[in-house]
Amino acid sequence: MASIHILADGYSRILEGKMEANCSCVLVKGEDNIIVDTMTAWDGHYILQALRKCNLTTDDINWVVCTHGHSDHTGNNNLFLKAKHIVGFSLNQKNVFLETELLKGNEFVINKHVRVLPTPGHTLTDVSVLVTTPDKNIVAISGDLFEKEEDINDPSIWREIAGSEAPELQIINRSKIAEIASFIIPGHGPYFKVTDEMRSKLKEQLTPPCEQCSTSPDVKLPEKSAGEYPQKDIETIAV
């Protein structure tokens, strides 16, 4: 069995013309202890504190998975020196790099509850972590495949504000993940339940030409972005 603990809700916002962002940092506790995305290099202290609240030390972490290589998702990998590190499609421990099926477009299985799926789009080597709960629901820790819940209604958030290296792939992978997941923990927002309405909206966006997907010149972040650190207590997804 695996339990999911959100150590930090990610956020992104534009303040006085400058982009501020940090990623969702998630602990999957169970047969393996896995940290997904390690925030910016300035957040080590915060992560250590959050782990202590979950009765773990850095040495208890077996796997680090960074959904992609951007610096707000990889900043504290070096806290976890007993772990294997997956960053995008690559897997290493110390200076040894191991082959994975991710490069061939296949999933990489960590254990029977947790697998890593290639979901390129935001970058060409993005991955999502899928956790199967005891009642067979799937929680997707998606990195920036989904920037935040609001980007389903307003694709300019993921396409233009967050940026996408391969929007055509990202559209497909967004729909694919929404089809299988009951909950999504996005890269820069609180987790949300996936509804059928969201699934159909994402499916509609698969079909070009799509007005919503066309470039809009005046892109603004929604006023209400996620919160600031220090955050509320660690949230555990109960499903």
* Smallest gap from residue 8 Cβ to Zn ion (A): 12
Closer to Zn ion by Cβ: residue 76 or 133: 76
Task: Indicate whether 187 belongs to the interface with Zn ion (CB under 5 A).
Answer: yes
What part of residues 59-98 is at the interface with Zn ion (CB under 5 A)? Answer: none
* Smallest gap from residue 174 Cβ to Zn ion (A): 15
Cis peptide before 230 (omega within 30 of 0): yes
Q: Which of the ranges 81-89, 107-115, 138-146, 171-179 carries the binding residues for Zn ion, by CB under 5 A?
A: 138-146
CA-closest candidate to residue 93, choices 103, 108, 104, 83: 83
**How many residues line the site for Zn ion (CB under 5 A)?**
2
* Smallest gap from residue 135 Cβ to Zn ion (A): 30
Q: Which of the ranges 45-53, 110-118, 180-188, 197-205 carries the binding residues for Zn ion, by CB under 5 A?
A: 180-188
**Spatial contact of 57 and 8, defined as CB atoms under 8 Å apart:** no
Say how far apart CA 63 and CA 116 lie, in whole Å.
11
Q: Which of the ranges 85-93, 143-151, 199-207, 215-223 carries the binding residues for Zn ion, by CB under 5 A?
A: 143-151
Closer to Zn ion by Cβ: residue 88 or 187: 187
Task: Indicate whether 147 belongs to the interface with Zn ion (CB under 5 A).
Answer: no
Closer to Zn ion by Cβ: residue 81 or 219: 219
What part of residues 18-37 is at the interface with Zn ion (CB under 5 A)? Answer: none
Closer to Zn ion by Cβ: residue 2 or 147: 147
Q: How far is CA 42 from CA 13, 76, 151, 205, 219, in A?
A: 18, 8, 27, 37, 29
Say how far apart CA 132 and CA 229 lie, in whole Å.
29
Closer to Zn ion by Cβ: residue 118 or 143: 143
**Spatial contact of 120 and 111, defined as CB atoms under 8 Å apart:** no
Task: Indicate whether 144 belongs to the interface with Zn ion (CB under 5 A).
Answer: yes
**Spatial contact of 27 and 129, defined as CB atoms under 8 Å apart:** no
CA-closest candidate to residue 110, choices 151, 63, 148, 55: 63
Task: Indicate whether 121 belongs to the interface with Zn ion (CB under 5 A).
Answer: no
Give buried/exposed letters for 88-117 (b at 16+ CB in 10 A, else e).
bbbbeeeeeeeebebeeeeebebeebbbbb
Q: Contact residues for Zn ion (CB under 5 A)?
A: 144, 187
